[in-house]
Amino acid sequence: MKAVIYARYSDAHQREESIEGQLRECNDFAKRKGYSIIKSYIDRALSGKKADNRPEFMQMITDSKQNLFDTVIVWKIDRFSRDKYDSVFYKNILKKNGVSVISATEPIDDSPEGQLMESIFEGFSVYYLKDLSMKTNRGMTENVLKGKYNGGGVTYGYIIDNNKQFKPDLVNAAIVADIFKRYANGESSKSILASLIEKGIKTNRGVSPTYSFITNLLKNRRYLGELRFKDTVVESAFPPLVDTTTFEKCQKRLADNQRRPGSYKPVEDRYLLTGKIYCGHCGKTMNGVSGTGGKGATHRYYHCHAARRFKTCDKKAVGKTLVESLVVDYIVRMLDDQLILNRIVDTCYDLQAKQDTALPALEKQLSRIQKEIDNVMDAIKQGIFTTTTKETLIKLEQEKEELEINISKAQIERPIISKEQIKFWLTNHRPIDIDDTMQKQQLVDTFLNSVYVYDDKMLIILNYKDGEICVTYDEIQTAMGKKENSGNRSDCQSSPLDVRGDSPAIRTRDHLLKRQMLYRLS
């Protein structure tokens, strides 16, 4: 798997050695786990409180859209962000782009429940982000109605004037019009791209254009002078760069040239345990791979990275469907256990207070300021009223007001999720459709910490204290309805966890397990 490293230090008094140490430990971690590092993003002397103040961090978020890497490795999770909701927001963006965040020296938090709480915050953040969206939508809608720039990347071919209005960039606007004309007349994207590169034309980011640059440009209705924000669309909001007839010709060509749906990977090709499944022999990650059998059937399985690429491990491949079904089954069993569920709810609820150190500190300062105000008031009551007393009281009152405002902000930004809300959110995962890949993926992302696969057993580690489940060979055989009569491991010719693809026997076991799970869940 391809990965990038993100490193930063926040204090100008810290030295470059801080970055070097982070990079060294992240690289060592990547080597142990079989990741290939393709780039490092580094912010120096910049706080982790607000992500949009960190240029390298924001560049990393932008680059994640290009599917160049699968994972972001940080030295510690607070290097990614010190703000809980900021962290959730940008992890959501990375997750949508197929990128995960892992720490080289610690789990997401200091406890398994901490990782689970991260998922709970992620789930509840939807409601808070909706509230924030409602507050910003009005202003952005007004900007659209006035034809004004709403932020984000500036469309190639336009510039933004001092009044936030779109104006054609005389040089680049001509390039845009030429691209539309040539494509509408039948010239290929490959030919257009080659000529742009030959002429040394650069994008707004100062890099050479790519196929996606041309495709996105041809699909962009903004070149018709159209400005939109959600459901609000304003035509002729600013001067167009292309006429409607030429634009529609390009859309028809783009539609005709699109790949057929059959050429895309179906959802069944999703490997649910990616990034969380490890080889029990060497500890390296196991990657999802597939192959075609003699009769044309596709077989999918997980294979140890070291065994497949470097031949330094002798762990055989394991059947994808079998392993994933077992993991999902044990997660659902955990959610069915009320004692475990209640313990997780209590721990997650208590964890919120431990994680939020800012609010208690502010409240402590407010208590101290209030005592000082009370002392000054007592002095005034005793007749001690001087210029110094007055100035001190005014200063203390100002500090008190500022603290009360900051406390209110902290309470709004970091609301305490009740036990009832946490339990509702957890149990909401329980009615699962075993044939819905996306539901199973959500279960794995939320509740699974890791899986270690051995020859005769699997170690499933869930995100709660003591959430380790060791599934032995005999237990797997029982679950499949295929337990050997003798029960002796040495009498078995092969382990169900050692397969070369999905044989008919494996597919039968998978089907039996699915039936068992459906019966139990019903």
Residue 254 has pLDDT above 80, yes or no: yes
Of 177 and 269, the one with more pLDDT: 177
Q: What whole-number distance in Å separates Cα of residue 123 and Cα of residue 270?
A: 22
| Model pLDDT, residue 83 | 65
Structural domain contains residue 116: no
Proportion of the chain above pLDDT 70, given as a percent: 74
Same domain, 167 and 215: yes
What is the total residue count of the chain? 522
Q: Of 198, 226, 258, which one is at a domain's C-terminal end?
A: 258
* Banded pLDDT at 511 (limits 50, 70, 90): very low
Q: What whole-number distance in Å separates Cα of residue 225 and Cα of residue 228?
A: 10
Same domain, 436 and 500: yes
| Model pLDDT, residue 387 | 85
Same domain, 188 and 328: no
Among 17-21, 387-391, 487-491, the range scoring the smallest mean pLDDT is: 487-491
User: pLDDT per residue over 440-450, tens digit each?
Assistant: 888 888 889 89
Furthest C-alpha separation in the chain: 100
Average pLDDT over residues 494-505: 45
- The owner of tokens 């961090």 is 57
Q: Of 258, 293, 318, which one is at a domain's C-terminal end?
A: 258
| Model pLDDT, residue 459 | 92
Same domain, 166 and 248: yes
Q: Domain containing 174 — which CATH number?
A: 3.90.1750.20
* Banded pLDDT at 112 (limits 50, 70, 90): low
Question: 330 and 471 in contact (C-beta within 8 Å)?
Answer: yes
- State the SS3 of 124-184: HHHHHHHHHHHHHHHHHHHHHHCCECCCCCCCCCEEECCCCEEEECHHHHHHHHHHHHHHH
Proportion of the chain above pLDDT 90, given as a percent: 31
Average pLDDT over residues 452-477: 84
Structural domain contains residue 130: no
Same domain, 513 and 433: yes
Q: Of 258, 290, 320, which one is at a domain's C-terminal end?
A: 258
Q: What whole-number distance in Å separates Cα of residue 450 and Cα of residue 463?
A: 9
| Model pLDDT, residue 257 | 77
Same domain, 154 and 251: yes
CA angle, 338 then 344 then 349, to 5°: 125
Structural domain contains residue 114: no
Structural domain contains residue 418: no
Q: Look at residues 496, 478, 499 and name the one whose alpha carbon lies nearest to residue 487.
A: 478
| Model pLDDT, residue 194 | 92
Give the DSSP per-residue string, 342-388.
Answer: HHHHHHHHHHHHHH--HHHHHHHHHHHHHHHHHHHHHHHHTT---HH
The 3-state DSSP class for residue 431 equals coil
Domain count along the chain: 4
* Banded pLDDT at 371 (limits 50, 70, 90): very high
Close Cβ partners of 95 (under 8 Å, ≥ 6 residues apart): 445
Q: Domain containing 100 — which CATH number?
A: 3.40.50.1390
Structural domain contains residue 346: no
Structural domain contains residue 117: no
Structural domain contains residue 309: yes
* Banded pLDDT at 169 (limits 50, 70, 90): very high
Across 14-23, 144-153, 208-217, 487-496, the highest mean pLDDT is recorded for 208-217
Structural domain boundaries enclosing 91:
2-106
User: pLDDT per residue over 267-293, tens digit each?
Assistant: 456 899 988 999 999 999 999 998 887
Average pLDDT over residues 297-320: 91
Structural domain contains residue 119: no
The 3-state DSSP class for residue 227 equals strand
Of 355 and 348, the one with more pLDDT: 348
What are the structure tokens assigned to 249, written together? 């010709």
